[in-house]
Amino acid sequence: MMTTRRNFTKGMTLGASGAVLMPLLRQMEAHAAGRSDGFPRRFVFVIKSSGITPGAIRPEGLDIGDDDHLLDLKLTDHQLPPTLRSLDPFKEEMMILEGLSGANFGGNHSSYYGALSCHHSPEKPAAATLDCLLGQLNPAPFRNYGFAPNGHSIGNNYGPIVQDTAVFPKISAYGQNSPMPYQASAEKAYRQLFGSALDLKTGGKKEFALQTNLLDFLSEDTKRLAQQISPEEREKLDHYLNAFESVRARNNELVTMQEKIRKNAPELTSQYSSTVFTDRVSTFFDLTSAALITGLTNVISIRADWLSAKYATFGFKNTSVHDIGHNKVTDNGLKSAEARDVIRQFQIEEIAKLAAKLKAVPEGDGTMLDNTMIIYLSDTGEAHHSHRKEWPFIVVGGRGHTLKTAGRYLRYPKYGSPGHKTIGNWYNTILQANNGPAKDHFGQLDNQLKDLDLRGPLAEIAV
């Protein structure tokens, strides 16, 4: 892709992030093509709403003291807290990461795109998010895939708990003003990911084969129009033609993967059409492991819940995540902290199940889990109404990712103290370890921290 006028028409030359991004993407694609170690670098982002309570994910009985110096402990020396117990088998492959801030990415009840792009962008995406950048670096037929039960972030309390279309939860973006859609329907995701190789009543092999007809038809139609218009306007149609070509390229790849898809496609159980909230989330994790094992994509983003979600399964069908965030007691008498524990435990258990499935697949000298980094975070930092001066992460897997994450509890010094770091540093670390371009920082810097040295990746994690 040349940087021509059409790239400008994407509004990309104004603003620091925009101007830098085009060369960034090209560089990354080039690097991706030349990867040497043979195994894809996979990522699963699990993004929950309403914050992650730092104290609740800390090793049992750990006292963080004055919080003004780095805490670096071996997880195997400690007991995981109750809601994380399902991760016991993975203690040596996981990291609990605390203390990083993202204070300058605010928003109403969520940082929205800011959580993964490190730009203040509560409404429209200002820059590409980390998951989309990693998807570019680790190409696969589907560059990224997103699952979200609903398209709202706050939403209304009256609509359906789970939707059945593509949605825009405002979490991920390919670039400035290019939001990434997520799929809310488990059945549709199933068809989109695996349908090309399966005999299904709808969305299966036969329908997939027709896509070539469609792309040919649209290409021809667009080219015909292009001949009637001026060169400047023709560039607009070039974008459209490029879109067809990229879908065509993906479809060609899927055709070569027919056997593998057939072998690894999950079973379409009744859970896929269930409208129970926790069922939907479970099927998303199901689809995730199958999609990764098949090699359909290398980067998946799962929106684990949203603020109007109501966990009827756990006895609070009239109390939403938002209500819990505002300390409302649930239908079955749980106080806020207890309800949050229940939710977190469910989400962690799903992660543990996913990790187990990946660990069961040998890859090279280890397992698929070694090459897959599952990252659990909230889109709003450390609380429902957060100050984002710390932003907790749990990382499972990815030992083979040239990052020192295995078996650690790492807590950075508190906001503003010497040695304090930000989520921008963390994302920069991940990118640089994955053939992302070497950059001083990722996203926007926090002006309140201008006396700290926030350049570069995290020395404690980078290799």
Partner 1 sequence: MTRSSTIIATILIAALLATGKADAAGDDYFKQGIVPFLEANCLACHDDETQKGKVSLDTIGGDFSKGDTVALWERVLEQLEIGTMPPEKKRQPSAAEREEVVRWIKEGLTLAGKGFEIESRMLLPEFGNRVSHELLFDGSISTPPFTPARLWRMSPHIYGGKRYQQIVRGGIEAQPLSYKSKSSGLRDYADQEIMDESGFLALQLALSDIIANQIHDRELAPMTYGPDKGKPIHLAGKESFKVISEAEGQPPREALERVIREEFERACGRPISATEFQKYFAFMERNLAEGGNEAGLKTTLLGIYLSSEAVYRLELGRGADDEHGRRLLSPQEIAFALSYALTDSPPSANLIIQKAYEEGKLSNTTEVEKVVRAMMAAGAPPIRKHFPASAFHRMIQEGEHGFAYYPRIVRFFEEFFLYPRAEGTFKDSPGPGMGGRALIGAPQGHIAAIVNEDKQVFEELLTSPRFNNSRTQLLKMVDERHARKRKSQPKEKADAWRADMIKKSNKLTDDTFRAGMLHDLSWLITHSTNDANDPVHRGIWVRTHLLAGNVPALPIGVDAKIPEDHDKTLRQRFEVTKVNECWKCHKHFEPLGMPFESFTDRGWVRTGMYYSKKQKRFETMLTPDKIKSGLEKDELVEFPFDTSGKITGTGEAGIDGPVKDAHDLVHRLAKSTRVRQSIIRHSFRYWMGRNEMLSDSKTLIAAEKAYLDSGGKFSELLVSLLTSDSFLYRK
Interacting residue ranges for partner 1, rule: CB under 8 A:
5-6, 8-11, 13-15, 108-109, 123-124, 150-152, 155-156, 158-160, 163-168, 174, 176-181, 183, 188, 202, 206-207, 209-211, 213-214, 217-218, 221-222, 225, 228-230, 232-233, 236-237, 239-240, 242-244, 246-247, 275, 447-448, 450
Q: Are 41 and 137 in contact (CB under 8 A)?
A: yes
Compute the least distance from the CB of residue 221 to partner 1, in Å.
5
| DSSP letters spanning 335-361 | -HHHHHHHHHHHHHHHHHHHHHHHHTS
Shortest distance in whole angstroms from residue 155 CB to partner 1: 8
Q: Which residues contact 312 (CB under 8 A, 6 or more apart)?
A: 276, 277
Secondary structure tally for the chain: helices H, strands E: 13, 14
Judge residue 155's burial from the number of C-beta atoms within 10 Å of its C-beta, 0-12 exposed, 13-18 middle, 19 or more buried. middle
3-state SS, one letter per residue, for 54-79:
HHHHCCCCCCCCCCCCCEEEEHHHCC
CB of 224 to partner 1, least distance (A): 8
- State the number of CA atoms in the 13 A half-sphere of 306 facing the CB: 28
Which position has the token pair 């359909």?
Answer: 296
Q: How far is the CB of 439 from partner 1 (least distance, A)?
A: 17
> Which CB atom, from 90 or from 277, has the smaller least distance to partner 1?
277
The CA distances from residue 456 to 72, 197, 335, 403, 436, in Å, are 20, 44, 42, 14, 13
Question: At 272, is the secondary structure helix, strand, or coil?
Answer: helix
Helices (H), 71-140: 114-117, 130-137
Is 206 or 335 the residue whose CB approaches partner 1 more closely? 206
Closest distance to partner 1 from the beta carbon of 272 (Å): 14
Provide the minimum distance between the beta carbon of 285 and partner 1 in the complex, in angstroms, as a whole number: 22
| Residue 233 CB, nearest approach to partner 1 (Å) | 5
Cβ pair 310, 318 in contact under 8 A: yes
Residue pair 175/128 in contact by the 8 Å Cβ criterion = yes
**Beta strand residue intervals within 38-172, DSSP E:** 42-48, 71-74, 94-98, 145-147, 166-167
For the CB of residue 370, give the shortest distance to partner 1 in the complex, in Å. 31
Alpha-helical segments (H) within 101-142: 114-117, 130-137
Nearer to partner 1, 247 or 356 (CB): 247
Nearer to partner 1, 142 or 285 (CB): 142
Task: Decide whether 37 or 216 has the Cβ nearer to partner 1.
Answer: 216
Measured from the CB atom, is 143 or 404 closer to partner 1?
143
Phi and psi angles of residue 297, each rounded to the nearest 5 degrees, phi first? -150, 165
Identity of the residue, 74 or 223, whose beta carbon is nearer to partner 1 in the bound complex: 223
Distance CA 184, CA 170 (A): 13
Q: How far is the CB of 402 from partner 1 (least distance, A)?
A: 30
Ramachandran region of residue 177, left (φ > 0), alpha (ψ -120 to 50) or beta?
Answer: left
CB closer to partner 1, 108 vs 258: 108
**Minimum distance from residue 434 beta carbon to partner 1 (Å):** 22
CA distance linking residue 58 with residue 42, whole number of Å: 26
Q: Which is nearer to partner 1, 11 or 362 (CB)?
A: 11
Residue with smaller CB distance to partner 1, 74 or 326: 326
Is the distance from CB of 376 to CB of 115 less than 8 angstroms? no
**CB of 180 or CB of 368, closer to partner 1:** 180
* Alpha-carbon span 386 to 382, nearest angstrom: 6
In whole angstroms, the minimum distance from the beta carbon of 17 to partner 1 comes to 11
